[in-house]
Chains A and B, each alone.
Chain A
């Protein structure tokens, strides 16, 4: 359980030059163990999504290192190396279909996922795997396979993205605001599916979110991010019950909870 899977060291990414330069990610270091669930918690503009894009190799860092399974992958750039990396590190995003072709049916979308699977199975085998993975995320394959993104609800779309993850079975899943477009009533269902991924495949998950309730419910450890820096990190229970940093305290005060009413 405690083997380190991913480590980032002094990761920095700046945008712009001169006076208008912004340090979106500023000297960030942390690590994620195998089978661990962590959350990078911050408000809009804190740099959390940029951090995710750096780890996903969708954006090169200005400086710093990313180490995955003891290998420095900061500068890998060949298609082959990247594909190998993406077999192990996958993501789901806030708007699950924003990055997919709206003309593709669910079947085609999930079939495309096999491009990332080594020794891709035969067509019949694929269809079987697709159906199984849809069932395990609580969807009826016959109902959704021939549908296109606009015919599905937000919750269904996100479940399909999870089915895709089940096909690829990465070691690390980066979940960037996976439930912010989903109703409170179905949110827990999606999160429980994610928690089960760890149980079944020992998958590590990094949530990127501003939802403190979600972070607390799912995670072993939290990294609180503000203005590109990690201001506090540690055990989720400890941070929520006894925050040390002033920013974390403010954040916790602003969250609407049930048992303590705001002074307005």
Chain B
């Protein structure tokens, strides 16, 4: 199975009116494989949502792609013109459920009007009836009541809205679905239902892979195949889910995982520690490894001077840290 999307050396910066650059995504390389759920985890402000925008081509100023490529089917999609992107790629090849998408439904319009808009945009010759029929079938296939189509957004619960938005964004059978924190505003039971929906979409082959962006590692544990950990605009570690959760390599991933609060016996007696310090300002990120000011394993003269390269430590598990291999040992 091949890669559906490959990001190579991607840099995406926000440019402020004062001419400053916020390096939200810096030298990120990542591939999205067919059939997988790829989790991207990190703290707020680490650039994970920016990465999602770049991968989904929803880059709007002040965000600019400075360099790098996003390849799909051998073409660098970043060089395509807007119109081709909109007609051929967005929604069809790649679709995004942005953060807070469930609140972006038009409150004064029934869900079906939105559905008709989406389908007619891509299939101008399709009649309203056909469009609705198609949506109805899709809703039924995913065990959502089709009466939702006749409802106004305020008549739906948060979990229902999130599922509706997800189903609408996959109406055109995109290969890749990027979901940016789709469950962060939901309670645990609705959250699980949304996750089930994503898994169902994959199983039914409506979509071929999911990029799931979250700050909740325990959630990724249950359905991700691989996890990429992001810190301060860079990816620091990528590996199989089990490997990242149970044997993380990067000091940041280790701290991130140990700061997780889950109701499991024994956790109560431990004092869970937060990661000391705050993430850096991406206007002027730290030199060398960006985590070095907060890192417990910081080595003076190495970590603050050069950027650690990616090293394959375990099967399919790469990390960018001087603690592993390399000349510094």
Contacts and interface: CB of A to CB of B under 8 A. Distances in A.
**A, B from the same assembly:** yes
A23 B199 CA distance: 36
Q: For chain B, which range describes its interface: under 10, 10 to 19, 20 to 34, or 35 or more residues?
A: 35 or more
B272 interface: yes
B187 A189 contact: no
Given A256-B222, A256-B262, A257-B264, A185 B272 contact: no
B192 interface: yes
A212 interface: yes
A43 interface: yes
A254 interface: yes
B274 A217 contact: no
Interface string A208-241: 0011111111000000000000000000110011
B210 to A, nearest CB: 13
B204 interface: no
B275 A216 contact: no
Contacts of B215: 183-185
Contact of B261 (A210, A214, A259): A214
A258 B220 CA distance: 9
Interface string B15-54: 0000000000000000000000000000111000000000
Interface string B257-294: 00111111101100111110010000000000000000
A153 B278 contact: yes
Interface string B149-168: 00000000010000000000
Contacts of B191: 254, 256
A215 B263 contact: yes
Nearest to A263: B222
A76 interface: no
Instruction: Identify whether the interface residues of A are mostly helix, strand, loop, or mixed.
Output: helix
Contacts of A213: 218, 260-263, 267
Contacts of A214: 261
Contacts of A112: none
A216 B267 contact: yes
Given A184-B217, A184-B260, A240-B263, A254 B192 contact: yes
A142 B63 CA distance: 32
Interface in A242-257: 250-252, 254-257
Contacts of A254: 188-189, 191-192
A120 B273 CA distance: 36
Interface string A173-213: 00000000001111111111000000000000000001111
Contacts of A191: 261, 272
B221 A258 contact: yes
Nearest to B242: A261
Contacts of B80: none
B255 A185 contact: yes
B221 A256 contact: yes
Contact of A186 (B158, B196, B265, B274): B274
B219 interface: yes
B9 interface: no
A17 to B, nearest CB: 21
A245 to B, nearest CB: 15
Contacts of B261: 184, 187-188, 191, 211, 213-214, 216-217
Given A185-B256, A256-B218, A262-B222, A44 B263 contact: no
B218 A183 contact: no
B188 A251 contact: yes
Contacts of B216: 184, 256
B263 A212 contact: yes
B263 A261 contact: no
A155 B215 CA distance: 15
Interface string A21-40: 00000000000000000000
A154 interface: yes
A132 to B, nearest CB: 21
A191 B263 CA distance: 15
Given A185-B275, A212-B188, A252 B219 contact: no
A205 B245 CA distance: 32
A258 B245 contact: yes
A256 B260 CA distance: 11
A264 interface: yes
Given A258-B260, A261-B222, A236 B44 contact: no
Nearest to A193: B274
A183 B275 CA distance: 11
A192 B272 CA distance: 8
Interface in A145-165: 153-155
B180 to A, nearest CB: 15
Contacts of A185: 43, 215, 255-256, 259, 274-275
15 contacts: A43-B188, A43-B189, A153-B278, A184-B215, A184-B216, A186-B274, A188-B259, A192-B273, A212-B263, A213-B218, A214-B261, A216-B261, A217-B267, A258-B260, A261-B222
Given A183-B43, A212-B263, 18 more contacts: A44-B186, A153-B44, A184-B43, A184-B215, A184-B261, A185-B259, A185-B274, A186-B274, A187-B274, A192-B272, A211-B261, A215-B263, A216-B261, A240-B265, A255-B188, A257-B218, A264-B196, A264-B223
Please provide the 7 A-B residue pairs with the shortest distance between their CB atoms, ordered closest to farther: A189-B274, A213-B261, A43-B187, A256-B218, A216-B263, A188-B274, A188-B272
